[in-house]
Structure 1
Amino acid sequence: MGLLSVLRRLKNSPEQEVRILLLGLDNAGKTCILKQLASEDISHITPTQGFNIKSVQSQGFKLNVWDIGGQRKIRPYWRNYFENTDLLIYVIDSSDRKRFDETAQELAELLDEEKLNMVPLLIFANKQDLMTAATAAEIAESLNLHTIRDRIWQIQPCSALTAEGVQVHTHTHTETHTHKYIHT
């Protein structure tokens, strides 16, 4: 299950590039997941103030992953990255129940975006290693995922800290680009 199964359904043959948009509220664990996908050290992660791009080779796929900051002031800029998205990964902090309504609203708005119409959705129910984490089933219910009819979707319990549920067994090279927003 997880990312690889969604990729296999998405693309008929490997050796293809896949543009992945990695979104979610701040502190959900997006950058940590990105670093796990790239088999990088996760001991020093700071909040993403702009965006990170990583190209990761995995099982014949070249994954171009765009990790966009999730702070409230940055979210309006998300729409600048919707074009040509092959897969939307939405990360949720499973232990932050107080923000489930906020994350549900953001996800609903993303699913209504015309440029993301029909784009498959993978939800990482992150931080499953914490005792306070809601299960993937609880999150699916909270987000009303059962009502999604216009796209393939899947929810994957995971822990970006331990890499459980995240790893795709990457190999070869990884390219990294980090950018910050400049507000004028």
Structure 2
Amino acid sequence: MISNFFLPISGGQTSIRPYWRCYFPNTQAIIYVVDSSDTDRIGIAKEEFHAILEEDELKGAIVLIFANKQDLPGALDAAAVTDALELHKLKNRQWAIFKTCAVKGEGIFEGMDWLSNTLKAGGG
């Protein structure tokens, strides 16, 4: 069974975070969406991201990161999001980052294609 896990990082989500564990069993992939224009909270996004990766049931999951809101002025590019999230620390799992603009549909299909191909190849 393949289940995708999407973690929105936005205000007001703190109260439902304990319920995320309900989705951990059998998860092969994590889809993590980052608001690239919210530079004030990128540190919080990093902390949440690394905390979720430490969960035992998610140790083998591959990671797809969407660096969203690329259409907004001042948005961090994929390299800057990679640095901010410290993705270079992910040594024992497959991951990829894609620049996206959800309102325009840009980058989403490319990321999902990577995820699908990686899962088919036995990456998760």
Q: Which bracket does the TM-score occupy, shorter chain normalised?
A: 0.7 to 0.9
Query: Which residue of the partner structure matches residue 102 of structure 1?
Result: 44
- The 8 Å contact of residues 24 and 103 in structure 1, kept in 2 or not, is answered as no
CA distance in 1, matches of 2:61, 2:105: 25
CA distance in 2, matches of 1:18, 1:160: 23
Paired letter, 1:25: I
Q: Secondary structure at the match of 2:14?
A: coil
CA–CA separation in structure 1 for the residues paired with 2:77 and 2:46: 15
Q: Counting helix residues as a fraction of each chain, which structure ranks higher?
A: 2
Shift of 1:132: 1.8
Taking the aligned partners of 2:24 and 2:98, their CA distance within structure 1 comes to 22
Give the match's secondary structure for 1:118.
coil
Within the alignment, does 1:143 sit opposite 2:85 as a pair?
yes
CA-atom RMSD in angstroms: 1.8
> For the residues of structure 2 that align with 1:148 and 1:141, how far apart are their CA atoms?
12
Whichever structure has more strand as a proportion of its residues is 1
TM-score, length-normalised on structure 2?
0.83
Q: Does 1:116 align with 2:58?
A: yes
Task: Note if 1:23 corresponds to 2:7.
Answer: yes
Correspondent of 1:162 among 101, 104, 110: 104
Matching residue's letter, 1:162? K
- Is the partner of 1:141 in helix, strand or coil? helix
Equivalent residue pairs, number: 111
Instruction: For residue 74 of structure 1, give the secondary structure of its aligned residue in structure 2.
Output: helix
Contact 2:28 2:60 in 1 (8 A): no
Task: Name the larger-Rg structure.
Answer: 1
Tell me which stretches of 4 or more aligned residues in structure 1 moved more than 3 Å.
none
Instruction: Quote the offset at 1:76 in angstroms.
Output: 1.8
In structure 2, the partner of 1:56 is none
For residues 130-184 of structure 1, give each alpha carbon's deviation from its aligned partner in whole angstroms, at most 9, with x where no partner exists: 112101100100111001012100111101110000136xxxxxxxxxxxxxxxx
Instruction: Name the TM-score, length of structure 1 as normaliser.
Output: 0.57
Aligned: 1:75 with 2:17: yes
Equivalent AA in structure 1 for residue 62 of structure 2: P
Greater RCO (CA < 8 Å, at least 6 residues apart): 1
The Cα of 1:72 is off from its aligned counterpart by 1.3
Give distance in 1, aligned partners of 2:82 and 2:55: 20
| Percent identity for Structure 1 against Structure 2 | 42
Which digits, 9 at most, give the CA deviation of each residue in 1:6-34, with x for residues without a partner?
xxxxxxxxxxx63111113027xxxxxxx
Q: 1:102 deviation in Å?
A: 0.6
